[in-house]
Amino acid sequence: MTEIAPRIVVDPQIRFGKPVIRGTRVPVHTIIAKLAGGMAPEEVAREYEVTPEDIRAALAYAANVLEQQEIRALA
């Protein structure tokens, strides 16, 4: 298991190596998708048994990944 960001880990044996919340099998993308779909952070925390800190860590990780991404427009 490798920590790639605070509270976020990857392990080839868990969810095919996708980033998950440390100590769970909950993928980061699931947390982000549920928030984007309109679930309140409290609902996400309750449904997936994660903490508010885990949710903030997932958001921070996603923001960091997006910041590093470079998109080039083809014109």
- pLDDT score of 75 more than 80: no
pLDDT at 71 (0 to 100): 84
| Mean local confidence (pLDDT), 7-21 | 97
Reported as a single tens digit per residue, the pLDDT across 35-62 is 999 999 999 999 999 999 999 999 999 9
pLDDT at 47 (0 to 100): 98
- pLDDT score of 74 more than 90: no
Reported as a single tens digit per residue, the pLDDT across 23-39 is 999 999 999 999 999 99
pLDDT at 30 (0 to 100): 98
DSSP code per residue over 38-74: T--HHHHHHHHT--HHHHHHHHHHHHHHHHH------
